[in-house]
Amino acid sequence: MPIGAFLLRRLGLGLVSILGVSVLVFLFLHLIPGDPVDHLAGGEATAEQRTKLAECMALDRPMPEQFVRFLGSIVDGTLGHQCPDPRGKPTVMARIAEVYPHTVYLALSGMAVAVVLALPLGILAAIRRGTWVDALASVTSLSGIAIPMMLLGPLLLLWFFVELGWLPGPTELGPSAMILPAIAVGTHLMAMLARMTRSSMVEVLGEDFLRTARAKGLPEGTVIFKHALRNALLPVITIAGLQFGSMLSGAIITEKAFARPGIGLLLLDSIAERNYPVVQGCVLVIAVSYVLVNILVDLAYGLADPRIRRA
């Protein structure tokens, strides 16, 4: 299939998925019992303030008209208006654009930590299968998967910020302040990628084409990194891509523990406030992020495996 037709097909499926997500989040929000005006206006709001807030959120309109307005806000790129607007960001898109780069930065940093640690660990475990290196790598991977994020973040803060004072703590946004959040986000993914890399490499190392490569006299490094690793990357790319999409959805626990702005924290606060426009906008941006990441993962398949490019 030509790459243009492939991209159009994937984008079409992605648009259908995004539309489905939009319908579901709209319906679920309106099915939750309770009045969102009560949460946003507070107990001391006047009747006039409550009426203006309901008009701003279009809650005084029938549900079909509210949904049409929501679709219109997607088309014009505003994703609706914040009600109320305490930060001087009148549109939901402006508010999301303010915090989303922080989440992307955190996700990229966590992915870098995961890949840098996972690939060498998985390759070593596969090459030294059955030895103490393999056992140590397995223990490390299982520990990374088993430690909950809600525990790892506070532990990192306790050790490296409170006890040792080596790294900045919560509320700071400099490059050095990204180290602990990136480790917290990337540890779980590192464990998954290391185990996947090991299992894929073990399977590939037994293939006939590697024995042929060795018989031709190729250096062992070339056999491992050029032939074996490249053929073992497909499942690793799948896991990395899907988990990166999950990171982009906002590492809520990490953002909460380290007091970092991000779309996950914004979504969490908006759900607590029952702020319909912001919740709908955040979920839509998250869905778009997943779709785009999945498309990039599909393209990465072709780069990793020439057989897929020819197909």
| Pairwise CA distance, residues 152 & 158, whole Å | 10
Within 8 A by CB and 6+ apart from 275, the residues are: 36, 39, 40, 82, 83
- Compute the radius of gyration of the chain from its Cα atoms: 24
Predicted local distance difference test score (pLDDT) of residue 130: 75
DSSP labels for 255-295? Answer: HHHTT---HHHHHHHHHHHT-HHHHHHHHHHHHHHHHHHHH
Q: Quick one: average pLDDT of 80-98?
A: 72
Q: Which residue has the higher pLDDT, 234 or 93?
A: 93
Q: Which domains does the chain have, with CATH numbers?
A: 3-92 (no CATH), 97-310 (1.10.3720.10)
pLDDT at 304 over 60: no
178-234: per-residue pLDDT in tens?
Answer: 788 888 888 878 888 888 888 887 777 777 776 777 777 777 667 777 767 777 777
pLDDT band per the 50, 70, 90 thresholds, residue 1:
low
pLDDT at 154 over 80: no
Question: pTM of the entire structure?
Answer: 0.75
pLDDT band per the 50, 70, 90 thresholds, residue 3:
low
Predicted local distance difference test score (pLDDT) of residue 4: 66
Predicted local distance difference test score (pLDDT) of residue 187: 81
Predicted local distance difference test score (pLDDT) of residue 84: 60
Q: Calculate the alpha carbon distances from 231 to 203, 209, 306 in Å.
A: 10, 11, 10
What's the maximum distance between 2 C-alpha atoms anywhere in the chain? 84
Helices (H), the chain: 3-31, 36-41, 47-56, 63-75, 92-127, 132-146, 149-157, 179-205, 208-215, 220-222, 229-248, 252-257, 263-273, 276-304, 306-310
Average pLDDT, the chain: 76
DSSP secondary structure letter of residue 91: B
